[in-house]
């Protein structure tokens, strides 16, 4: 018969206990820990992987599952989860070919010039590599050095992408209906 697990103690001591048990090979503790962090992982993946958030979430959870034994400092668990998740969301985004998206000129036009363009709509139409740098800057607050490390790119490339992404976003945001 299927056994319902007890509610997870989400306090720091509860997570630390689950983490220790999961690192020692307790599959039930690993499952409970992954269930506990899934909403956080999904929230972190959404702005980066956007349409492929479910795939990115799954890839991040797999990477966390595979790498949990290598985590040496339990107090760094959530930071480690964030780093792994961000890396996997970027990888998934690149892997599924999200770099080529609709052109900015395809933005919907309204007869009413006072109808604002929705931020999410503008972000949807940016190329994936522009969406990545804007998300890493605005949502995660990373600087160019940190973004370069996450994206595995030279700092100069990140600066260039960030400049062009901001310019494209501003142009799309200001675009007036025809």
**pLDDT at position 81, please?**
95
Cα 124 to Cα 112: distance, rounded to the nearest angstrom: 21
Q: Is 108 exposed, middle or buried (0-12, 13-18, 19+ CB in 10 A)?
A: exposed
Q: List the domains of the chain with CATH numbers.
A: 12-95 (1.10.1740.10), 104-174 (1.10.10.10)
The pLDDT assigned to 30 comes to 94
Low-confidence ranges of the chain (pLDDT < 50): 1-9, 98-108, 114-116, 176-178
Phi-psi region of 25 (alpha: psi -120 to 50; beta: other; left: phi over 0): left
* Token couple for 20: 């220790």
Report pLDDT digits (tens) over 105-150.
Answer: 444 455 555 444 577 778 878 888 888 888 888 877 788 888 888 8
Question: CB–CB of 125/104 below 8 Å?
Answer: yes
pTM of the model: 0.58
- Please tell me the predicted confidence (pLDDT) of residue 1: 28
């Amino acid at each position: 018969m299927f056994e319902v697990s007890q509610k997870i103690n989400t306090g720091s001591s509860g997570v630390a206990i689950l983490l220790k048990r999961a690192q020692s090979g307790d599959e039930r503790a690993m499952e409970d820990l992954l269930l506990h962090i899934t909403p956080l992982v999904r929230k972190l993946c959404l702005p980066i992987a956007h349409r492929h958030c479910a795939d990115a979430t799954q890839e991040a959870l797999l990477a966390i599952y595979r790498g949990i034994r290598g985590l040496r400092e339990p107090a760094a668990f959530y930071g480690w989860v964030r780093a792994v998740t961000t890396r996997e969301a970027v990888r998934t985004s690149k892997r599924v070919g999200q770099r080529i998206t609709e052109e900015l000129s395809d933005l919907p036009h309204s007869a009413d010039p006072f109808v604002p363009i929705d931020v999410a709509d503008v972000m949807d139409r940016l190329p994936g590599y522009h969406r990545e740098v804007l998300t890493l800057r605005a949502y995660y607050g990373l600087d160019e050095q940190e973004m370069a490390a996450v994206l595995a790119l030279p700092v100069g490339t990140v600066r260039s992408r960030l400049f062009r992404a901001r310019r494209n976003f501003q142009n799309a945001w200001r675009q007036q209906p025809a």
